[in-house]
Amino acid sequence: MTLSNLNIVRGGPTEGGTVILIHAVGLDLTYWDRQIEALTAHYHVVALDLPGHGRSACASHSGSIADLAHDVAMMIDDLGPLAVHVVGHSFGGMIAQELAISYPDRVRSLTLAATAASFSEEVRDYLRGHGTAVRAQGMIAALPSLPLSLAGSTLQRRPDLLDRLTKTTLAMDSDVYAAAWSEIADFDAADRLRRIRCPSLLLVGDEDRNTPPDSNSVIARAISGAAMVVIPGASHMVPMEAAERFNEELLRFLRTVET
C-alpha cells in the first residue's frame, strides 16, 4: 500500500490513536515487526519505507532530512486530520526531530530511539567518510560497521540479526545510502530542540557506540519535559535487540500521553 508515494503497512484499530514508525538508514519497515505486533492491539500503526528503502521508490527530491520530514508530513495528512505519535530510530529519529520542529501540529508525541541531534566535527568527518567509501566501493564497504551496531551479547545470542542486517544492507541502493550518510553528518537540530513542545521520550541502549546515552541525554535536556530510558544489554539496534523492554517503555509512554 502507498500513501504520498511511500510504501506502508497499516494495522490495528483505526478509531484509536495513530503511531508512525520511521526506520533507520539502510533498513526498512520490516525491522519494526516486534513493535507492530505489540502496538496494533491498542493503536492504529503505520510503518513506512523511506524513499529508496524497502519497497518505496527513490525520491524525486534531494533526499535531505528536511525533504524526508516533509514526505512524512504529507503522509500524515493523507491519514486524516488528527496529530499522530511519531517513533523514529537513528536516522528515522533525525527525521522525527525535524518533523516535530517543522510540523508541530502533526505530532502528538515523539519517541526517539538511538539517535542524535548533532555531532562533533571529528564525528562528522567519520560519517562523511563512511558515505564516501560506499560511493567508491559499493554497499560492501558498509558491512564492517554492522557488528558495531549490536551489543556483544546480542552478537553471541542472536547471530541471525547480524545476518539479516547484512543481507538488507547489501540489497540497498548505494547512492541513496551514501546520500543519507551525508545528511546524517550535516544534521544539526541542537539549537532548535527547544521548539519541540509535545510529550517526548528517548530510548537508548546502554552499549550504543553510535549514539551513546550521553548524546541522547543532550536531546532529553533540551526538550521541555522529555524523559529518557537507558535499556541495558542493547546497542544501536535497540528496537530489535531489546524489543520486549523497548515495547514496554513505548506503550507505557503512549498510555500516559493518551490519558
Instruction: Kindly tell me if the per-residue pLDDT of 9 is higher than 70.
Output: yes
Q: For position 258, what pLDDT does the model report?
A: 87
Distance CA 11, CA 31 (A): 15
Delimit the domains of the chain by residue range. 2-117+190-258
Q: What is the pTM of this model?
A: 0.97
pLDDT tens per residue, range 129-151: 999 999 999 999 999 999 999 99
pLDDT tens per residue, range 79-98: 988 899 999 999 999 999 99
Residue ranges in the chain assigned as alpha helix (H): 33-39, 65-79, 91-102, 121-137, 152-157, 159-170, 174-186, 213-222, 238-241, 243-258
Strand partners, 88: 22, 112
Instruction: Kindly tell me if the per-residue pLDDT of 102 is higher than 80.
Output: yes
Instruction: Kindly tell me if the per-residue pLDDT of 126 is higher than 80.
Output: yes
CA 179-182-183 angle, 5° bins: 90
The residue type found at 227 is A
pLDDT tens per residue, range 154-165: 999 999 999 999
Return mean pLDDT, the chain: 95
CA 196-25-127 angle, 5° bins: 90
Q: Distances from the Cα of 136 to the Cαs of 129, 140, 176, 211, in angstroms? A: 10, 10, 13, 25
Q: Which CATH architecture has domain 2-117+190-258?
A: 3-Layer(aba) Sandwich (3.40)
> pLDDT confidence of 2, banded at 50, 70, 90?
low
For the chain, percent of residues with pLDDT exceeding 70? 98
Q: Distances from the Cα of 202 to the Cαs of 93, 211, 220, 234, 238, in angstroms? A: 10, 12, 7, 14, 12
Between the two ends of the chain, the Cα-to-Cα distance in Å is 31
Q: What is the largest CA-CA distance in the chain?
A: 51
Helix 91-102 to helix 65-79 angle (10° resolution) is 70
Q: For position 1, what pLDDT does the model report?
A: 60
Q: Is the dihedral of CA 161, 177, 212, 38 positive or negative?
A: negative
Q: For position 44, what pLDDT does the model report?
A: 96
pLDDT tens per residue, range 18-57: 999 999 999 999 999 999 999 999 999 999 999 999 999 9
Strand partners, 227: 201
pLDDT tens per residue, range 55-83: 999 988 888 999 999 999 999 999 988 89
Distance CA 225, CA 197 (A): 8
> pLDDT confidence of 122, banded at 50, 70, 90?
very high
